[in-house]
């Protein structure tokens, strides 16, 4: 029987590459459901090609266009945030790939966990915002969470076969982004076009900007804490511009295991789908002779304040990471719309952290309220 997969966010970078993996491994996997927020034309194209059982468009204004375009096919078409949460509960679904961007990925991920579906996690904000809540739910419903981020997949792969061997330190690699060598003066004048040119990876706009500020790496630090049960001081960010070592784990005997590969997200996506098996794939192979050398640097948290703010949120706990995520989503969008300067983003996030009420033991409702308040506060700071 083919595994039935639901892809939340099929029109984004991760979603489109996941469909490539499914197409290449069509004897093993089948698309049961695909969803998108706004990109209805691409969603229609994907639906016609993969013929899923269900298609969902979150933006209700695009529903009629989607329904009309697929009216000649036996595909169920739904719209709205509620439909996203309901569709992941469908009995035939084996795995849910959460590839949506931002806080909106939290509710459907929770619904999928309650329905007992294996989670392939690409929506890092789910664990950033509500890591403790998600872990408790996953344990309650005995649901595995398989990381799709290349760094967390690398750590996961390094830990395979190491049950009972404590982690001394996680070495979380970062490319350093496009502004790794820029001065503060230069950073003050960087443009959206410059920030969207990532030196190693091809990603969506939001995550590319987060990578330029190193907030994406900060979020990955928080995500690693919840995925692997380590303390903040056990997670060390290492700038590695070649993006060949995707991350490493240091054990108590001093041994370090690393996972290497070309910067291609299809590899961690396929590993999450196939775990614990490794499937033959057409991806490019790593050529160490061509690369020649690998280099490593410490991150500069003075120039890239967002990484320091993420660590601060992790140390504080409670709803602080939720505050940081909400403020970051606001300033990220503002930067993409040319409404805020590059360095101003970190300033707004830090001020928001000081203005929104702290809750040590937040409930799901607290997270919703915190997210709304932090967005409002951040938007008023620029």
Gap between the Cα atoms of 200 and 21, Å rounded: 21
DSSP 296-315: -B---TTT-HHHHHHHHHHH
pLDDT at residue 200, rounded to an integer: 73
**Edge-to-edge strand order for the sheet containing 54-57?**
76-79, 54-57, 29-36, 3-8, 95-98, 118-121, 145-147
Residues 159 and 298 in one domain: yes
Secondary structure class of 210 (helix, strand, coil): helix
Residues 135 and 157 in one domain: no
pLDDT above 90: percentage of residues in the chain: 95
- Asked if residue 339 belongs to a domain, the reply is no
* Cβ 311 vs Cβ 353: under 8 Å: no
pLDDT at residue 370, rounded to an integer: 98
Per-residue confidence band for 220, with pLDDT thresholds at 50, 70 and 90 = very high
Instruction: Specify the residue for token string 């830090």.
Output: 350
What is the total count of domains within the chain? 2
Gap between the Cα atoms of 36 and 55, Å rounded: 8
- Asked if residue 173 belongs to a domain, the reply is yes
* Cβ 92 vs Cβ 71: under 8 Å: no
Residues 185 and 108 in one domain: no
84: CATH: 3.40.50.720
pLDDT at residue 40, rounded to an integer: 97
pLDDT at 199 > cutoff 90? no
Please count the other Cβ atoms lying within 10 Å of the Cβ belonging to residue 357: 11
Per-residue confidence band for 204, with pLDDT thresholds at 50, 70 and 90 = confident
Residues 139 and 181 in one domain: no
Residue-range definition of the domain harbouring residue 114: 3-147
- pTM score: 0.93
Residues 186 and 118 in one domain: no
Mean pLDDT of 161-185: 95
Residues 177 and 112 in one domain: no
- Asked if residue 24 belongs to a domain, the reply is yes
- Asked if residue 116 belongs to a domain, the reply is yes
Residues 13 and 99 in one domain: yes
Mean model confidence pLDDT for the chain: 96
Task: Report pLDDT digits (tens) over 53-86.
Answer: 999 999 999 999 999 999 999 999 999 999 999 9
Cα Rg of the chain, angstroms? 20
pLDDT at residue 102, rounded to an integer: 87
Residues 32 and 120 in one domain: yes
What are the residues facing 36 on neighbouring strands?
57
Residues 172 and 295 in one domain: yes
- Asked if residue 35 belongs to a domain, the reply is yes
pLDDT at residue 289, rounded to an integer: 96
Residues 121 and 185 in one domain: no
- Residue 177, burial from CB neighbour count under 10 angstroms (0-12, 13-18, 19+): buried
Q: Please state whether the peptide bond connecting residue 276 to the residue before it is cis, i.e. omega within 30 degrees of 0.
A: yes
């Amino acid at each position: 029987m083919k595994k039935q997969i639901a892809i939340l966010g099929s029109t984004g970078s991760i979603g489109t590459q996941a469909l490539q993996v499914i197409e290449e491994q069509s004897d093993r996997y089948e698309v049961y459901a695909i969803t998108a927020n706004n990109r209805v034309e691409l969603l229609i194209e994907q639906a016609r090609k993969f013929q899923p059982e269900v298609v969902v468009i979150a933006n209700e204004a695009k529903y009629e266009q989607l329904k009309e375009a697929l009216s000649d096919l036996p595909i169920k078409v739904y719209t709205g945030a509620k439909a996203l949460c309901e569709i992941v509960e469908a009995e035939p679904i084996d795995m849910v790939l959460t590839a949506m961007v931002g806080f909106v990925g939290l509710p459907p991920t929770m619904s999928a966990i309650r329905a007992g579906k294996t989670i392939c996690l690409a929506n890092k904000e789910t664990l950033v915002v509500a890591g403790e809540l998600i872990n408790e739910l996953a344990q309650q419903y005995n649901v595995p969470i398989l990381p799709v981020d290349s760094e967390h997949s690398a750590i996961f792969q390094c830990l395979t076969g190491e049950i009972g061997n404590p982690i001394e330190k996680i070495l979380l690699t970062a490319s350093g982004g496009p502004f790794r060598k820029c001065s503060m003066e230069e950073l003050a004048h960087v443009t959206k076009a410059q920030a969207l040119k990532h030196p190693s990876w091809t990603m969506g706009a939001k995550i590319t900007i987060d990578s330029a500020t190193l907030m994406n790496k900060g979020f990955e630090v928080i995500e690693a804490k919840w995925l692997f049960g380590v303390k903040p001081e056990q997670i060390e960010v290492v700038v590695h511009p070649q993006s060949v070592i995707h991350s490493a784990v240091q054990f108590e005997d001093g041994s370090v295991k690393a996972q290497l590969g070309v910067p291609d997200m299809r590899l961690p996506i396929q590993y999450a789908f196939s775990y614990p098996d490794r499937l033959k794939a057409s991806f490019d192979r790593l050529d160490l002779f061509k690369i020649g050398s690998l280099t490593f640097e410490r991150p500069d948290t003075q120039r890239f304040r967002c990484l320091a703010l993420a660590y601060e949120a992790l140390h504080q706990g409670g709803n602080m990471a939720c505050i940081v995520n909400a403020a970051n989503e606001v300033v990220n969008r503002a930067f993409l719309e040319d409404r805020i300067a590059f360095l101003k983003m970190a300033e707004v996030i830090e001020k928001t952290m000081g203005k929104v009420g702290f809750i040590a033991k937040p409930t799901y409702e607290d997270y919703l309220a915190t997210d709304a308040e932090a967005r409002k506060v951040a938007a008023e700071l620029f």
